[in-house]
Homo-oligomer: A and B are copies of this chain.
Amino acid sequence: MAVVPEPTTSRRVTALDVAREVGVSRATVGFVLNNTPGQTIPESTRERVLRAAERLGYRPNSAARALASGRSRIILLVLPDWPVEFRMRDYLDEASLVLDKAGYSLVTYTRHPDQAARPLWESLNPDLVLGTLPFSSPDVASMLACGVREIYPDPDRPDLPDVSLAFSAGPELQVDHLHERGHRKLVYAAFTETRASSLVIARHQAASDRARLLGLATPDLESVDYRDDSPDVAVRRWLDAGITGVVAFNDDVAAAIASAAVRAGLRMPADIAVIGHDDSPIATMFVPALSTIRIDTAALGRGFADFVLHRVDRRPLPAPRTSPKPTLVRRETS
């Protein structure tokens, strides 16, 4: 267990303290602690430095390190304004872990809705800023002025791979399942507030491609708002149009649709089938329980971290990884 060093003098332990303790120079301490390549430190010295640092409870001052090296080793992920995926937590946990091993810290951040507060990249000096949507040009200018050297998505390099949760296997599985259950006319449903998000667009696209492959009509992207009667209106309209299968962007959307179906006295899946995405708590709590897709968020998080390390450390991207396979969780609405 860590012992608080010298509780009387609250001065922080610096590399100089460690150097003096061991009897080497400040630079040598830095070399062993940072594993600086190209330096050949005798094993005994290395050992003594490591032990002294441990004993004194030395923690490098990250501000000093950032100032001297020009790199903060902070990765900033800007999250969208709307409620984020239920599974995002696992995803970020896993990504943090991989990045941490490489010496980077992942900070997530949701901007104030009316952008009133200064953006976090001004006070954090991150090496890389990632967003789920392209940044506005004032934002990009602000990042550049703050010394951010890597921005993603990069307006100048639209070719970069997408590393969000927008992988296509989930939507494909949703469509496959409804098709298999005999549904021929489908619709893709999202919430109004998120319908323009890249994630919704990407998933709808994947579902559409799959439908076409199966010889079905392209499912329209329709948006509803759970706070008004738009789900009820939509369900009625869909039934009139002969649509019997609803591919929902996530479980919350599925719940809003299923909710309207219950209120309309419809039976699921006999009258209408609904399938969500993410396997979040609401899917099991809802009555009837919602069919959904479970995805391997941890694997996706690792993929995200690999991408980040590629950008900041020029590490090679791991071989075209086989996307983790999502699994169908069939419950009562399909």
Chain A interfacial positions (CB closer than 8 Å to B): 1-5, 12-13, 57-59, 61-64, 66-67, 72-74, 83, 86, 89, 92-93, 96-97, 99-100, 105, 107-110, 112-113, 116-118, 120, 122-125, 137-138, 141-142, 144-147, 226-227, 252, 255-256, 259, 262-263, 281-282, 284-287
Shortest C-beta distance, A221 to chain B (Å), equals: 20
Asked if A256 and B227 make an inter-chain contact with CB atoms under 8 angstroms apart, the answer reads no
Q: Given A259-B286, A263-B287, are A281 and B226 neighbors across the interface (CB < 8 Å)?
A: yes
Within the complex, which residue of B86, B96, B256 is in contact with A285, where a contact is CB–CB below 8 Å?
A: B256
Report the separation of the CA atoms of residues A135 and B89 in the bound assembly, to the nearest whole angstrom.
Answer: 21
- Considering only CB atoms, which chain B residue lies closest to A71 in the complex? B63
Residues of B within 8 A of A138 (CB): 1-2
Asked if B63 and A145 make an inter-chain contact with CB atoms under 8 angstroms apart, the answer reads no
- Considering only CB atoms, which chain B residue lies closest to A76 in the complex? B107
- Considering only CB atoms, which chain B residue lies closest to A113 in the complex? B93
Report the separation of the CA atoms of residues A78 and B262 in the bound assembly, to the nearest whole angstrom.
Answer: 40
Within the complex, which residue of B2, B13, B112, B145 is in contact with A5, where a contact is CB–CB below 8 Å?
A: B145
Shortest C-beta distance, A309 to chain B (Å), equals: 15
Residues of B within 8 A of A105 (CB): 118, 120, 122-124
Within the complex, which residue of B96, B125, B286 is in contact with A62, where a contact is CB–CB below 8 Å?
A: B125
Asked if A96 and B67 make an inter-chain contact with CB atoms under 8 angstroms apart, the answer reads no
Q: Given A67-B67, A145-B59, are A255 and B2 neighbors across the interface (CB < 8 Å)?
A: no
Within the complex, which residue of B63, B141, B252 is in contact with A66, where a contact is CB–CB below 8 Å?
A: B63
Asked if B73 and A97 make an inter-chain contact with CB atoms under 8 angstroms apart, the answer reads no
Asked if B262 and A123 make an inter-chain contact with CB atoms under 8 angstroms apart, the answer reads no
Report the separation of the CA atoms of residues A275 and B316 in the bound assembly, to the nearest whole angstrom.
Answer: 53
Residues of B within 8 A of A122 (CB): 59, 62, 105
Shortest C-beta distance, A148 to chain B (Å), equals: 10
Asked if B59 and A146 make an inter-chain contact with CB atoms under 8 angstroms apart, the answer reads yes
Q: Given A63-B125, A125-B63, are A147 and B12 neighbors across the interface (CB < 8 Å)?
A: yes
Within the complex, which residue of B67, B74, B146 is in contact with A64, where a contact is CB–CB below 8 Å?
A: B67
Residues of B within 8 A of A72 (CB): 63, 123
Asked if B124 and A62 make an inter-chain contact with CB atoms under 8 angstroms apart, the answer reads yes
Residues of B within 8 A of A2 (CB): 138, 141-142, 145
Residues of B within 8 A of A116 (CB): 97, 100
Shortest C-beta distance, A231 to chain B (Å), equals: 8
Shortest C-beta distance, A58 to chain B (Å), equals: 8
Residues of B within 8 A of A74 (CB): 123-124
Within the complex, which residue of B4, B99, B123, B252 is in contact with A144, where a contact is CB–CB below 8 Å?
A: B4
Asked if B142 and A120 make an inter-chain contact with CB atoms under 8 angstroms apart, the answer reads no
Shortest C-beta distance, A257 to chain B (Å), equals: 9
Residues of B within 8 A of A252 (CB): 281-282, 285
Q: Given A284-B227, A285-B226, are A112 and B141 neighbors across the interface (CB < 8 Å)?
A: no
Seed contacts A63-B66, A99-B117, A124-B124; 14 additional CB < 8 Å A-B pairs? A1-B137, A3-B141, A4-B141, A12-B147, A59-B146, A72-B123, A73-B123, A93-B113, A100-B116, A105-B122, A105-B123, A107-B120, A255-B285, A255-B286
Report the separation of the CA atoms of residues A58 and B142 in the bound assembly, to the nearest whole angstrom.
Answer: 10
Report the separation of the CA atoms of residues A86 and B92 in the bound assembly, to the nearest whole angstrom.
Answer: 18
